[in-house]
Structure 1
Amino acid sequence: MKRAEFDIKSVSCRFGRHELVFETGKVGRQANGAVVVKYGATVVLVTACMSADKRPGIDFFPLTVEYREKQYAAGKIPGGFFKREGKPTEKEILSARLIDRPIRPLFPKGFVNDVQIVAQVLSSDPSYDPDIFAILGASCALTISDIPFEGPIVACRIGRQNGEFILNPTYEEQEQGDLDLCVVGYGDKIIMIESGSHEISEEDMVAAIEFAKSHFREVAAAQDKLKELVGKEKASYEPEKLPSGIVPLLKEKYLPKLQEIVNIADKHARMKQFSVICNKAIEELVKEGKGEALPLGDIVFTIGEETFGPTEVKKAFSEIEKELVRDRIFKDKHRIDGRALDEIRPLAGEVGILPRAHGSSLFTRGQTQSLSITTLGTRSDEQMIEGLEDQSYKTFMLHYSFPPFSVGEVKPIRGPGRREIGHGALAERALKSVMPDKDSFPYTVRVVSEILESNGSSSMATVCAASMSLMDAGVPIKAPVA
């Protein structure tokens, strides 16, 4: 029997208290890129895969990110009857979103091949959250792969204790400190910031970001070095783009009407008029002999030597709309709904609107509306968290719900989606620091935000509504949050 041979390459650099290691060539070799990241006792495998063909007819980049923390990584067997991990936990979903946000902007515009990042925690150091190392692994796997990607990026977590910043703080240091900051950068630029803190000053936050940036260079250099050793040539791709003649044609025929539509303040009325003019344009192009109906009901348009379908017509109208809205903001100094750049939407707030709830509020900002309900419970209502860390309990929970009617759509309602979990966690983080401690307020608190209307920043409407409903329930928060 012939012994399997592996061409293993690794690079390392100092990153806080431990050596950070990127290794490739031993596992996950059928992926476009696969990297094992090691830090202390943490080991994370991250793979990047790309479909062979692009996905036609879409106007978004089809990136999916999966993050998994299986109990074996901490030497545990899952609880419950099945003794097996099931659907992603809330922590796994939030970590997947944390990876997605900074890498998504670094794929080239018009690139529409499916890309999937899978991060698996194989071993978990009891002192550190593996999510930062999953971001680093995703960056490195993409950097050495043939997938078009404008990286590498560097991620780090910053804590603060006694006025001193800490790179990659332990769980205990995060708990005891007054800052929990995740910073992701590209070169000397910042791509993403996610933070929770105990009301620190803006100057301190800027100093923390600069502290994070000072540790980027070595980690980026390590990824570049691994790319020199094993990096693949980036795959060529043909970006999705509109036929060159369609935008000028539509502008010539419909620009005055489009300028009128952009000035409509109401979102649904504006969207309806855009749909009307788009359908009208398709009909008129057919009448003018520029379109040909096909047997299955499709239409093919021809301008010069270029052919396209109704989807491209709709995309062209969207491009013109973007241009008009941008001009309105930068040249006319007005937003799409007629407000000045420094003018907020009309506000309304009510409390005590539900007779059986412990606390309730309705917060409205323009066409965004959150109904917030606070319920008080006992210690028996605490949520048990069983993750890779030691078992813990939550006494404050905020759940965000985004039904389809809030944006006038028809969709089935299932369990909470990733977006709902992410927005709920964001609002919960904003309020957590002002909640009373267990000793002075020994209750479990659950806040539910029902989004009844949405036209911009429903997560921040949730924070405002939740703050009011907590006060309505008699929860002695340290200060209102907005």
Structure 2
Amino acid sequence: KREGRPSDSEILTSRLIDRVLRPLFPDDYHADVFVNVILFSSNGEDMPDALAGLAASAALAVSDIPFNGPISEVRVARIDGKLVVNPTFKELEKADMDIMVGATIDNIMMVEGEMNEVSEAELLDAIKFAHEEIKKQCLVQIELTEAVGKTVKRTYCHEENDEELRKQVWDACYKPAYEVAASQNPNKHERMDAFETVLNNFLETIPEEEREAKSALVSRYYHDVEKEAMRRSILDEGKRLDGRTTTEIRPIWSEVDFIPGPHGAALFTRGETQSLTTVTLGTKLDQKMVDDALVHDTDRFLLHYNFPPFSTGEARPQRGTGRREIGHGNLANRALKKMIPAD
């Protein structure tokens, strides 16, 4: 049949790749980069999503695109107490741990997965085990670039900087920004206004004829000032911006049966964040058919995560489910599905 928009599984695979690649482009490289990973063929036994990150990184490694890689990703499963790299579909059915790890030679970049209850030490062992395999795949990519001849990375217009202006922003704004951060005002909007006042006060000191030309640089430099002031305040005072200690969570409130129609409903509130959740029980006829390239099955537990624009005060059209909603919904699904009774 004709391909339509990417399926949920394809979107989830692309997000696995994106999470590891995205932080490794230079901060001032703003050109659009599209990496297309296409599954042409499969033996039906091995799971191709575990190889997608390796394929994407290898393509970037031999390209002229600036990239601080290589990276790779592997799936690690624990089967009968033994860690296995990139298990087959059949092997994964017996696993009590299933994680995907993405990393460079030196650093872990991403971990996602699901498992039964395990200790922190067991999870760390699995991540270290994965990293050793990733290192081998990264070294192979380096050999590949040498074999095909290293491609000279393209030159691009780096962001212009005014170091004297940067110093002026730090000297003038750090102390008042720190004071705002350390004030521990529980009202988020008042804190945001106070931080913005610090920025505006500095902009007022710039001659009017230069202000418009310098405002973008000032805003960028002030963002770094604000970030460091927040960080130092938390480390120095031992409290977060709203006065909570580093071990204290936001106030939590919840109510069940919030909506009378569904089989279950709850309103959960933490600080200024709210989640309205409903649940409906169905029959076997309501199970979702899964018809992906390599998986043909039914799914009896469905979780739909919606993040409409109005939830953050935005006014924009809704055109289907977004990648973020699919990704975050999958995380919640993986966390909850093992709690659903078998029948």
Same fold (TM over 0.5): yes
Q: Is the 8 A contact 2:174 2:229 kept in 1?
A: no
Aligned residue in 1 for 2:293: 388
Among 214, 220, 226, which residue is 1:321 paired with? 226
Tell me the amino acid that sits aligned with residue 79 of structure 2.
Q
Q: Which letter does structure 2 place at the counterpart of 1:387?
A: D
Q: Deviations over 1:351-388 (max 9, x none)?
A: 11111121111111222221111111111111111111
Residue 348 in 1 paired to residue 269 in 2?
no
Aligned partner (choices 155, 158, 161) of residue 239 of structure 1: 158
Give matches, 1:45-56, under 5 Å: none
Shift of residue 256, structure 1, vs aligned partner:
5.0
Q: How far apart in 2 are the matches of 1:218 and 1:249?
A: 47
1:371 aligns with 2:291: no
**CA apart distance, 1:258:** 3.0
Amino acid of the structure 2 residue aligned with 1:271:
M
Q: Quick one: which of 110, 120, 127 aligns to 1:209?
A: 127
Indicate conservation of the 8 Å contact 1:258/1:321, yes or no. yes
Q: 2:31 aligns to what?
A: 113
TM-score, length-scaled by structure 2: 0.91
Are the counterparts in 2 of residues 156 and 184 from structure 1 also a CA contact under 8 Å? yes
Aligned residues: 340
Rounded to whole Å, the distance in 2 between the matches of 1:90 and 1:247 is 44
| Counterpart for residue 188 of structure 2 | 267
- The amino acid of 2:188's aligned partner reads K
Q: Which amino acid aligns with 1:173?
A: E
**CA deviation after TM superposition for structure 1 residue 280, in Å:** 5.3
Counterpart CA distance in 2 for 1:151 and 1:255 is 34
In structure 2, relative to structure 1, the CA distance for the partners of 1:393 and 1:327 (3 Å cut) is same
Shift of 1:406: 2.6
Deviation at 1:138, TM superposition (A): 0.8
1:13-92 to 2 correspondences below 5 Å: 78=1, 84-92=2-10
Counterparts of 1:242 and 1:329, CA distance in 2: 29
Query: For residues 81 and 12 of structure 2, what CA distance do their matches in structure 1 show?
Result: 28
Check 1:332–1:239 CA distance in 2 against 1; reply closer, same or farther (3 A cut). farther
Kindly state the Cα deviation for residue 328 of structure 1 after the two structures are TM-superposed.
0.9
In 2, Cα distance between equivalents of 1:175 and 1:245 = 60
SS where residue 330 of structure 1 aligns?
helix
How does 1:107-256 map onto structure 2 within 5 Å? 107-230=25-148, 231-240=150-159, 242-255=161-174
In 1: Cα distance, 2:174 partner to 2:197 partner:
14
- More helix as a share of residues: 2
* Superimposed CA distance per residue, residues 48-75 of structure 1 (whole angstroms, 9 cap, x where no aligned partner): xxxxxxxxxxxxxxxxxxxxxxxxxxxx
1:260 is displaced (CA, Å) by: 4.4
Q: Secondary structure of the equivalent of 2:316?
A: coil
C-alpha deviation, 1:316, in angstroms: 2.3
Query: Cα distance, 1:312 vs. partner?
Result: 2.1
CA distance in 1, matches of 2:340, 2:253: 24
- Quote the Cα distance in structure 1 between the aligned partners of 2:187 and 2:10: 38
Aligned match of 1:419: 324
Give the one of 290, 294, 304 matched to 2:210: 290
- Deviation, 1:428, is 0.6
AA aligned to 2:65 is: I
User: Structure 1 residues 265 and 243 mapped into 2: Cα distance closer, same or farther (>3 Å)?
Assistant: farther
Preserved contact between residue 112 and residue 240 of structure 1 (Cα < 8 Å): no
For the Cα contact (< 8 Å) 2:101–2:127, is it kept in 1? yes
Residue deviations 1:319-366, cap 9 Å, x none?
Answer: 211111111122222222221111111111221111112111111122
Q: Secondary structure at the match of 2:38?
A: strand
2:137 counterpart SS class: helix
SS at match of 1:165: strand
For 1:413 and 1:223, how far apart are their aligned partners in 2? 41
- By how many angstroms is 1:407 displaced? 2.5
Distance 1:121 1:348 in 2: 46
Contact 2:303 2:329 in 1 (8 A): yes
> What CA deviation, in whole Å up to 9, does each residue of 1:224-255 have, x standing for no partner?
11110113022234432542133333345455
What letter is aligned with 1:365? Answer: R
Partner of 1:8: none
Judge conservation of contact 1:242–1:316 (CA < 8 Å) in 2. Answer: no
State the identity as a percent. Answer: 40
Q: Secondary structure at the match of 2:117?
A: coil
Partner amino acid, structure 1, of 2:231: R
Query: Would you say the 8 A contact 2:105–2:135 is kept in 1?
Result: yes
Is the deviation greater in 390-399 or in 406-415? 406-415
Which residue does 2:307 correspond to in 1?
402
Contact between 2:25 and 2:67, CA under 8 Å: does it hold in 1? yes
Q: What is the one-letter code of the residue matched to 2:310? A: F
Give the SS at the match of 1:178: strand
Q: Deviations over 1:70-117 (max 9, x none)?
A: xxxxxxxx3xxxxx1111111111111000011112222222222111
Q: Which amino acid aligns with 1:336?
A: L
In the other structure, the counterpart of 1:43 is none
Q: Conserved in 2, the CA contact under 8 Å of 1:112 and 1:239?
A: no
Pairwise CA RMSD: 2.1
Contact kept, 8 Å, 1:147 with 1:235, in 2: the verdict is yes
Greater strand share, 1 or 2?
1
Q: Distance in 1 between matches of 2:308 and 2:190?
A: 21
Cα separation, partners in 2 of 1:169 and 1:432, compared to 1, 3 Å: same
Does the CA-based 8 Å contact 1:333-1:341 persist in structure 2? yes
* Amino acid of the structure 1 residue aligned with 2:158: P
* Structure 1 residues 373 and 238, CA gap change in structure 2 (3 angstroms): same
Distance in 2, Cα, partners of 1:278 & 1:329? 21
